[in-house]
């Protein structure tokens, strides 16, 4: 009797093992739409937590004609290039004996806040607050140093004609234009002095220009730091 009990137990163990492995190896079927959604979710998880609100991702839908794909184990995902690359590809892979892989094109864009023109502006116009607004844009559309605060450029002059909806950059403006009377800021340790001068050339933010000191009548090099404001460089 004990012999049959042992045989029964062994048969039960073998059967359980077989059933477990059949269940464990049961493949999961994914439609193209589900694979696209899984790739999108995975990519979203790769973004830094503090950047997820400033990043726009556009994942191409997989063609429905490829049909459903099955895999017995969890799928793996990888990016072809660094996540900082705008044009990228997500690899979806099933790492089994009958392995398969798919490639999903994706675009990754940084979204930033920028100063936008509310009207067309001709060359040489003085920027006023009512000409500007702020809006979000994709960074790829920006060429030059971005203006992020409208108040920083009120009073500046345009170096070229600008169009409504255009993103404003410091390269579009001269914060100090040739012939402008400017304030010269002189800071040397604990001493702070201000003087007036006349700009000898155009300058945008960070540019070094010649300024004629109206008191001393000497030309000095100064850095443009704001509208009609320069700082002497020592």
State the Cα angle at 153 between 118 and 205, rounded to 5°. Answer: 135
> Looking at residue 136, what is its pLDDT?
86
Helix, strand, coil % over all residues of the chain, rounded to 5: 25, 40, 35
The residue with tokens 């798919």 is 102
pTM higher than 0.85 for the full model? no
The residue among 42, 54, 50, 43 whose CA lies nearest residue 83 is: 43
Return the pLDDT at 38.
96
The reported pLDDT for the residue numbered 234 is 65
End-to-end Cα spacing for the chain: 104
Core vs surface per residue 153-192: b (16+ CB within 10 A) or e: beebbbeeebeeebbbbbebbbbbbeebebebbbeeeeee
pLDDT of residue 1: 44
Distance CA 116, CA 77 (A): 38
Confidence (pLDDT) at 194? 87
How many CB atoms sit inside 10 A of residue 102's CB? 19
Phi, psi torsion values for 15, nearest 5 degrees: -65, -45
Residue 102: what pLDDT? 96
The rounded average pLDDT for each run of 10 residues, N- to C-terminus, in the chain (234 residues) is: 44 39 69 95 85 79 94 95 88 93 92 91 95 87 84 94 93 94 84 88 93 91 94 79
Give me 95's structure tokens.
Answer: 């790492």
Find the angle CA(121)-CA(123)-CA(127) to the nearest 5 degrees. Answer: 55
Q: Name the DSSP letter for residue 48.
A: -
- Residue 213 token pair: 């000191």
Instruction: Quote the pLDDT of residue 7.
Output: 40
Short-list 79, 69, 73, CA closest to 44: 79
Asked whether 89 and 45 are in contact (CB, 8 A), the reply is no
Tell me how far apart the alpha carbons of residues 130 and 110 are, in angstroms, rounded to a whole number: 27
Distance CA 1, CA 20 (A): 28
Q: What is the pLDDT of residue 12?
A: 40
């Amino acid at each position: 009797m004990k012999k049959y009990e042992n045989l029964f137990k062994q048969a039960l163990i073998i059967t359980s093992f077989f059933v477990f492995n059949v269940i464990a190896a049961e493949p999961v079927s994914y439609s193209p739409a589900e694979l696209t959604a899984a790739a999108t979710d995975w990519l979203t998880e790769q973004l830094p937590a503090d950047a997820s609100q400033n990043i726009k991702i556009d994942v191409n839908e997989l063609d429905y004609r490829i049909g459903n794909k099955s895999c017995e184990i969890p799928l793996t995902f990888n990016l072809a290039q660094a996540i900082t690359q705008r044009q990228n590809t997500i690899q979806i892979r099933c790492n089994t004996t009958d392995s398969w892989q798919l490639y999903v094109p994706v675009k990754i864009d940084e979204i930033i806040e920028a100063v936008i023109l509310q009207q067309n502006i001709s060359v040489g116009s003085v920027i006023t607050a009512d000409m500007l607004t702020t809006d979000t844009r994709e960074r790829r559309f920006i060429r030059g140093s971005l203006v992020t605060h409208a108040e920083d450029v009120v009073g500046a002059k345009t170096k070229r004609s600008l169009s409504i909806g255009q993103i404003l950059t410091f390269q579009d403006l001269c914060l100090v234009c040739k012939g402008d009377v400017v304030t010269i800021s002189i800071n040397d340790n604990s001493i702070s002095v201000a003087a007036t001068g006349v700009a000898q050339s155009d300058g945008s933010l960070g540019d070094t220009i010649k300024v004629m000191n109206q008191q001393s009548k000497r030309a000095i090099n100064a850095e443009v730091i704001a509208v009609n404001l320069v700082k002497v460089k020592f």
